[in-house]
């Protein structure tokens, strides 16, 4: 199986020993604490799960700027997106400033229980110039209308860095018991299935016919034993479809339209960044760490609102060192319904095509039709999936 990124074995930061975890949880209740942002809490879950291997915690300012500007840490490790714990000034109490260790409280669980303990390596103040640099390099824009920019810009200016030990998986294990899996668990599952070549597919949406077709085309192209459908379970922008609905849609589609034991349906606990090309690189790191040999990058991967070109998230892989990642990238083009062939096809950029022949499919178009109460045609969605989605949109309309 493919090696993890930058390490021989996964390095999950979850405290797996029961007695040690109980001891630390008790200790955390007595420590000075800060309330994490949702993004920083999701990063703690990713660190716990092994997806952020080989990171040991949150980055300091120099590390974050190195990652933002050069896509590598000062030690030379390739890393595409800063992983930071930034808090507002009111959280920097004297107790926190003088502590060797602090508790990191979970903003997404009632009562804000401790999620992790951090050894404090540094507490630094982020200048406005540094903040704008980090935002522009990560998102390619500082536009406050971009869905990812405010989540970074508005969390504060104080950077708390250091290694962490994680006490739980926030709400993900309880809310998504059948879907949430750590990178460790996915590697174990791949081995148990006897798969050697695995193509991974990232989704924050219910899978429409183009997604289904892209997965099958990629599987055939790389001769994969199986497909890892890996859905984001964290926070999204307004208007995106909730994880529970997406999960139901994907499970229905796989059960009815994929051969048995060719798909593993899993999810991970991260908030969507909508950082386009940079996030595509980060997603590739995740999939290498969970054991996939190939990763699908489709049109406008991890984008939103037209901030990125259709294939920017593919082309950024041409700019990184050849040895930066070991995972192979399958580059998807426009995947459409062919009227002549009566099936999903993937158009090639260098081949001429007859626009009258194809029916283009997009998640945006699908959401617009559902919001308007329009039935989805079979070229867009499998009927069983469309039924689940229509039921959700009708319930929202009547709420």
Per DSSP, the residues of 297-319 read E-TTTT--TT-S-TTHHHHGGGS
Cα(390)–Cα(261) distance, rounded to whole angstroms? 29
Considering the candidates 60, 205, 289, 333, report the single residue annotated as catalytic.
Answer: 205
What are the φ and ψ backbone dihedral angles of 336, each rounded to 5 degrees?
-135, 165
Closest residue by Cα to residue 387 from 253, 212, 222: 253
Beta bridge mates, 160 = 123
Beta bridge mates, 231 = 203, 267
Under 8 Å between Cβ of 233 and 172: yes
204 part of the active site:
yes
Cis peptide bond prior to 54, omega within 30° of 0: yes
- Sign of the CA dihedral with 323 first, then 265, 206, and 346 last: positive
Cα(172)–Cα(160) distance, rounded to whole angstroms? 24
289 part of the active site:
no
Distances (CA, A) of 92 to 88, 111, 280, 378: 7, 20, 34, 55
Considering the candidates 105, 181, 187, 204, report the single residue annotated as catalytic.
Answer: 204
**Active-site residue numbers?**
204-205
């Amino acid at each position: 199986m493919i090696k993890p990124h930058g390490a021989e074995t996964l390095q999950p930061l979850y405290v797996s020993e029961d007695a040690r975890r109980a001891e630390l949880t008790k200790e955390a209740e007595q420590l000075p604490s800060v309330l994490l942002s949702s993004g920083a809490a999701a990063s703690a879950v990713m660190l716990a799960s092994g997806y952020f291997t080989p990171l040991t915690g949150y980055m300091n300012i120099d590390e974050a700027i190195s990652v933002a500007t050069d896509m590598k840490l000062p030690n030379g490790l390739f890393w595409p997106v800063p992983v930071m714990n930034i808090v507002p000034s009111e959280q920097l109490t004297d107790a926190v400033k003088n502590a060797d260790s602090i508790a990191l409280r979970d903003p997404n669980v009632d009562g804000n229980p401790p999620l992790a303990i951090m050894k404090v390596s540094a507490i630094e103040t982020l200048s406005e110039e540094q903040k704008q640099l980090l935002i522009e390099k990560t998102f390619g824009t500082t536009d406050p209308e971009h869905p990812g920019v405010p989540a970074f810009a508005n969390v504060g200016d104080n950077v708390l860095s250091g290694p962490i030990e994680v006490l739980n998986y926030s709400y993900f294990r309880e809310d998504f018991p059948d879907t949430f899996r750590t990178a460790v668990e996915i590697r174990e599952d791949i081995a148990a299935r006897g798969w050697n070549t695995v193509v991974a597919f990232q989704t924050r949406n219910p899978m429409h016919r183009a997604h289904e077709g892209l997965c099958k085309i990629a599987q055939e192209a790389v001769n994969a034993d199986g497909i890892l459908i890996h859905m984001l379970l964290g926070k999204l922008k307004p208007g995106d479809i909730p994880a529970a609905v997406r999960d139901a849609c994907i499970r229905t589609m796989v059960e009815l339209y994929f051969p048995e034991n060719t798909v593993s349906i899993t999810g991970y606990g991260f908030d969507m960044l909508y950082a386009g090309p940079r996030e595509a690189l980060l997603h590739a790191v995740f999939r290498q760490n969970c054991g996939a040999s190939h990763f699908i990058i489709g049109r406008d991967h991890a984008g939103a609102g037209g901030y990125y070109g259709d294939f920017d998230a593919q082309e950024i892989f041409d700019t990184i060192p050849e040895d930066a990642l070991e995972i192979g990238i399958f580059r998807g083009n426009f995947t459409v319904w062919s009227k002549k062939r009566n099936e999903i096809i993937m158009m090639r950029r260098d081949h001429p095509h007859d626009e009258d022949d194809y029916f283009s499919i997009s998640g945006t178009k699908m959401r617009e039709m559902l919001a308007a109460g329009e039935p989805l045609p079979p070229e867009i969605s499998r009927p069983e999936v469309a039924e689940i989605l229509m039921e959700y949109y009708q319930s929202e309309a009547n709420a």
